């Protein structure tokens, strides 16, 4: 799980360990993902932050199929907030602007509304930060919780420049998770995102990531 970029299926772990029962392996995997989330929850993002949301395809339950799903996230879709520390840098010699990318966070939102988005901002982003978003109406209260909130009209330029790295993260998350796990239940999506973000935030650690994950599980943080 720590060295494979696309993750490691619990079924494959079961086969390699030669275990007859799938349930204990599945339970172990989710404990690992929970520890990954707990470790990243210790830190808040700071500085200049790109923030956006996306819909993630999930497996609808029988109740959802019959009654539908409340909020903007319809049956088979789950709303997720994602954010990244993205500090613009400028090379004065060649007049080329780039961005220094640091840490990411992802949060499943039970329903789509401004109150939950504001709660996520308060929990995950330092209040001295500058946050960049598009002009979605549910973002209007973000300014109450950070130093500065800058909203730009959705456009091709906004996607490719202002919110470039958050959209790259969204694309990679969809390709990584859906390409590997195919169907993810709504209630387990945050655990899968925990694993994706944990490894993304430690993308330069190489083999040391195994030891970091062991420590995270021993300490429970």
What is the predicted pLDDT for the residue at 180?
Answer: 80
Contacts of 155 (CB under 8 A, 6+ apart): none
Average pLDDT over residues 62-80: 66
CA distance 73 to 17: 38
The residues facing 221 across adjacent strands are: none
> Which of 66-75, 167-176, 185-194 has the lowest average pLDDT?
66-75
- Neighbour-count burial of 169, counting CB atoms closer than 10 A to its CB (0-12 exposed, 13-18 middle, 19+ buried): buried
**Pick the residue with more confidence: 112 or 50?**
50
| Predicted local confidence at residue 155, as pLDDT | 87
Residue 1 lies in a domain: no
- Give Cα 158 distance to the centre of its chain: 20
181 found inside a domain: yes
**CATH number of the structural domain spanning residue 187:** 3.30.420.10
3 within some domain: no
For residue 70, give the DSSP letter.
S
Q: Contact, 80 vs 42, CB < 8 A? A: no
pLDDT at 142: 93
Q: Name the 3-class secondary structure at 133.
A: strand
The more confidently predicted of residues 95 and 52 is 52
Residue 73 has pLDDT above 60, yes or no: no
72 has pLDDT over 80:
no
CB of 109 within 8 A of CB of 81? yes
What pLDDT is attached to residue 162?
87
Tokens standing for residue 132? 């960049």
2 within a domain of the structure (yes/no) = no
Q: How high is the mean pLDDT of the chain?
A: 86
What 3-state class would DSSP assign to 217? helix
Strands (E), 135-220: 148-152
Between 171 and 95, the more confident residue is 171
Percent of the chain with pLDDT over 70: 87
The pair phi, psi for residue 110, each rounded to 5°, is -60, -40
Structure tokens at 202: 């430690």
Average pLDDT over residues 208-212: 90
* pLDDT for residue 48: 94
Q: How many CB atoms lie within 10 A of CB 87?
A: 13
Q: For the segment 82-141, what is each residue's pLDDT rounded down to a tens digit?
A: 999 988 765 545 555 667 889 999 999 977 677 889 999 999 999 999 999 999 888 989
Q: CB neighbours (10 Å) of residue 197? A: 21
CA angle 146-150-153, nearest 5°? Answer: 145
Q: Is 156 inside any structural domain?
A: yes
Does any domain span residue 205?
yes
Least confident of 32-46, 109-123, 198-212: 109-123
> Domain total for the chain?
1
Domain ranges, residue 156: 10-219
The answer to whether residue 97 is domain-embedded is yes
**Residue 4 domain-assigned (yes or no):** no
């Amino acid at each position: 799980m720590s060295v494979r970029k696309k993750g490691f299926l619990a079924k494959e772990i079961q086969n390699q360990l030669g275990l007859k029962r799938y349930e204990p392996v599945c339970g172990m995997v989710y404990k690992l993902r929970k520890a990954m989330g707990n470790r990243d929850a210790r830190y808040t993002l700071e500085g200049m932050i790109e923030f956006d949301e996306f819909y993630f395809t999930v497996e609808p339950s029988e109740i959802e199929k019959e009654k539908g799903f409340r909020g903007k996230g319809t049956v088979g879709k789950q709303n997720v907030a994602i954010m990244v520390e993205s500090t613009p840098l400028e090379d004065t010699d060649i007049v080329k602007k780039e961005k220094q990318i640091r840490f990411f966070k992802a949060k499943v939102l039970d329903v789509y509304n401004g109150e939950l988005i504001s709660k996520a901002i308060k929990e995950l982003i330092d209040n001295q930060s500058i946050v960049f978003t598009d002009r979605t109406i549910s973002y209007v209260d973000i300014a109450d919780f950070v130093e500065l909130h800058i909203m730009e009209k959705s456009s091709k330029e906004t996607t490719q420049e202002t919110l470039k790295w958050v959209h790259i993260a969204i694309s990679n998350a969809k390709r990584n998770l859906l390409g590997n796990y195919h169907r993810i239940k709504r209630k387990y999506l945050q655990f899968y995102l925990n694993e994706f973000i944990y490894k993304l935030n430690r993308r330069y650690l190489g083999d040391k990531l195994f030891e970091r994950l062991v420590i995270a599980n021993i300490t429970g943080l």
